[in-house]
Amino acid sequence: METFYLLIVIFLFVLAVFDLMVGVSNDAVNFLNSAIGAKAASFRTILVIAAVGVLLGASLSNGMMDIARHGIYQPEHFYFAEIMTILLAVMLTDVVVLDVFNSMGMPTSTTVSMVFELLGGTFALALVKSWSDDALGLGEYLNTDKALSVIMAIFVSVAIAFFFGMVVQWLARLVFTFNYRKHMRYSIGLFGGVATTAIIYFMLIKGLKDSSFMTGDTKAWVDEYTPALVGACFVFFTILMQVLHWLKVNVFKVVVMLGTFALALAFAGNDLVNFIGVPLAGYSSYLDLQSSGATPDTLVMTSLLDSAKTPWYFLIAAGLVMVYALMTSKKAHAVIKTSVDLSRQDEGEEVFGSTPVARTLVRISLNISNAVMKVTPESAKKWIDTRFRKDEAIIADGAAFDLVRASVNLVLAGLLIALGTSMKLPLSTTYVTFMVAMGTSLADRAWGRDSAVYRITGVLSVIGGWFLTAGAAFTICFFVALFIHFGGAVAIVILIAVAVFSLIRSQVLYKNKKKRETLSPTVTRLLKTTDSNEALALLREHTREELSKVLVYVEDNFNRAVTSFMSENLRGLRRAMGSIKFEKKQIKQMKRIGTVAMSHLDNNMVLDKGLYYYQGNDFASELVYSVGRFIEPCLEHIDNNFNPLDNVQKGEFSVVSEEITAFVRDVRACIENNDYASLQDFVVRGNRLNNELSHLKREELKRIQGQSGSIKVSMVYLTMIQEAQNVTNYTINLLKVSNKFQAQE
């Protein structure tokens, strides 16, 4: 039996390695987004500095391990076998839940997932134990006070981080403005001194106090001389930063890189428990089983009430795995992109759409802003506006925001996280850093009226994902724990197989998703260019690419819908209908990119070409909607097993549908090659197709009047003819406006 549990412990550590890889992919955004968003240094330099911070933070991460040992459950009321069931359920759930969120590119909280998984697993076993023996209530199995304090600390940190991020950034912008180089002659030394001292105090003094190699005498000395140490650091770093400024060193870059290091250190110190705390608790429990001589069903795990004494080699090994994941994970880059895009200073491609809640919040905010402006003196408004002139912003080429905001993000997030760590409250580093970044971007007026609704939708989507994490982690772990408890070894094998399959499937789906979502080089250049003529040339190229994709979609799905309906292939119709939703999203994305690109053109170009561009987008949308309206009645008809088309209807429509498919294909080639020499021939050809379809419509109406055939079949057939005409007309119109937009004048 001990061998069986030894295998479980080994498997827990194997899962911990995967958890570290997946977790770092998620949490790398916490300490990398500010430096990467501001382009404070090369990507490689930022990664190296963060890696050193992660490695050092992992080696100092002993103090937080108690959360996994007795922070959620009361171990003195559980036997060894039950504790191992909870811990295994937690790890199996955690790996899968985090990987799902990473694959979606959404930052979620490893802390929340661990806490709620422990709650779910413990609650499941507590129900079983209280059902079989009512000597203890549910509340006595759960460490409810500690669990509530952890949960409250996690969720309260969201509001605190957002509020302080907004206030501190607003004050920083009043001091430095967007043209910060003109306003930092003497203030930069003070700012650098405060920022660096705060980082040193919270990241090192507080962090070192909980490290395994700190003796009692050393801790007492640090406590006694903390004010003197802080004062000395403030004076020293204030002078140092001022001198560095005089030597032409960009102090903001120094603060950003130091903050990146410190936040990486805080992340590892605070979040390492989320990845290896559970396996270490299992390892410690197994050692207690070996030394006690008891059986797994009789050994009460009172020993877990003691504080964790984590061997240094486990911490170093975990740190090395985290560094490897940081350097190699592509999913980490996707999560970073989500956070940076939502906080960038200028407009660009908005990943998220618009929701009623976001629109309502924007409307309320505008009303509040207008009310405040009415009572604010004109002189004060004018002065404040001079400090927030975004056209003077000093932002590196390709950066999302400037170094002032990056500095505030890192320093403030580091302070809040380190404060929680020193109080042994596992604040979510994801929540804190993300909400600080959102607060600072709001204070910087990065959420303009043209982008606010999309940014708020993105923030709400991320926050909603956090709550979804909590619910999913609790529920899944609850059932996994019950399955393991009642299913034993067989259940464990099944769950391991499911977890492995889920991870492999997730990787395959993620790769396919990234292939679809990756922006083309044309769009990347288009969103960066500032030259009007280059922007128009790139927009024309992008438009050709996108309209060609739309016509490929129309050609394939119109043909699939016709052949599937004729052959009563329900699966083919469902597949065609299912693709409509994704294609509509692509159309919306194309429109958003085009709207942003139009802002890069001068007014004359917008007036000359803008109407044709938007008309082209509208015709592309109508093409997709027409295909959807074509498919929907066909799908319903076949799904209800109604009578099929008769042979006459099939024969005549098959001929014209093949001609329509060929027509769409030829128009696509014309647009792709940017060759409109045969435009009039296409117009004539399209009109001929419409005449053929009109003839089919008249013939079908005659059949209806003659009461021959099924009326249901006739109605579907007439709808097919009408939408086929729409496809033809919109294709002709798309070709015409594309010609006008692409014309060199």
* pLDDT exceeds cutoff 70 at 517: no
With left for phi above 0 and alpha for psi between -120 and 50, is residue 293 left, alpha or beta? Answer: left
Q: What is the pLDDT of residues 278-324, one digit of tens each?
A: 888 888 888 888 888 788 888 888 888 887 677 778 888 888 888 88
- Inter-residue contact 15 to 275 (CB < 8 Å): no
pLDDT tens for residues 472-486?
A: 888 999 999 999 989
Mean pLDDT of 218-227: 77
Range of the domain at 670: 521-742
**Which whole-number Å values give the CA distances from 502 to 112, 125, 466, 467, 475, in the listed order?**
21, 25, 21, 22, 17
**pLDDT, position 646:** 86
Q: What is the pLDDT of residue 368?
A: 74
Q: Does residue 203 have a pLDDT over 70?
A: no
Say yes or no to pLDDT of 345 above 70: no
Q: What is the CATH number of the domain that holds 606?
A: 1.20.58.220
186/250: higher pLDDT = 250
Last residue of a domain, one of 517, 543, 558: 517
Last residue of a domain, one of 475, 502, 517: 517
Instruction: Indicate if 551 and 661 belong to the same structural domain.
Output: yes
Distances (CA, A) of 721 to 3, 91, 166, 513, 695: 71, 57, 57, 35, 10
Residues 471 and 559 in one domain: no
| % of the chain exceeding 90 in pLDDT | 16
Same structural domain, 564 and 507 = no
Percent helix / strand / coil, the chain, rounded to 5: 80, 0, 15
- Cα-flanking dihedrals φ and ψ of residue 300, to 5°? -85, 135
Report how far residue 211's alpha carbon sits from residue 200's, in angstroms, rounded to the nearest whole number: 16
DSSP 8-class letter at 431: H
Residues 175 and 294 reside in one and the same domain: yes
| 531 plus 484 within the same structural domain | no
Domain co-membership, 345 together with 414: yes
Task: DSSP for 186-198, please give it.
Answer: THHHHHHHHHHHH
pLDDT top residue among 235 and 503: 235
User: At which of 492, 517, 542 does a domain end?
Assistant: 517
Place of tokens 């979609």: 553
- Residue-wise pLDDT tens digits, 112-137: 788 888 889 999 998 888 887 777 77
Of the candidates 260, 258, 267, which has an alpha carbon nearest to the alpha carbon of residue 110? Answer: 267
507 lies in the same domain as 584: no
260 and 221 within one domain: yes
Structural domain total, the chain = 2
> Other CB atoms closer than 10 Å to residue 113's CB: what's the count?
29
User: Which of 118-127, 352-361, 544-553, 648-657 is the least confident region?
Assistant: 352-361
Q: Which two tokens stand for residue 427?
A: 């604040």
CA torsion 435-441-442-443 (nearest 10°) is 110
Residue range 164-183: mean pLDDT, rounded: 83
For residue 324, give every residue at least 6 positions away whose Cβ sits within 8 Å of its Cβ, in sequence order, or none. 21
| Radius of gyration, CA atoms only, the chain | 31
- The predicted model gives 336-364 an average pLDDT of 61
* Of residues 351 and 398, more confidently modeled: 398
Tell me what pLDDT residue 323 has.
84
Co-location of 433 and 563 in the same domain: no
Residues 502 and 561 in one domain: no
Least confident of 223-227, 328-332, 414-418, 612-616: 328-332
Q: Report the C-alpha gap between 532 and 537 in whole angstroms.
A: 9
**Cα(485)–Cα(89) distance, integer angstroms:** 10
Q: Within a 10 A sphere around the Cβ of 229, how many other Cβ atoms?
A: 17
* pLDDT score of 727: 94
Give the whole-angstrom CA distance, residue 400 versus residue 577.
38
Which of the four pLDDT bands, split at 50, 70 and 90, describes residue 451?
Answer: low
Same domain, 528 and 473: no
Give Cα separations from 559 to 271, 665, 687 (angstroms).
53, 11, 20
pLDDT score of 102: 62
The reply to whether 167 and 304 lie within a common domain is yes
**Residue 239: its pLDDT value, please?**
92
pLDDT of residue 179: 82
Beta-bridge partner residues of 79: 300
Q: What mean pLDDT, rounded, does the chain reach?
A: 80
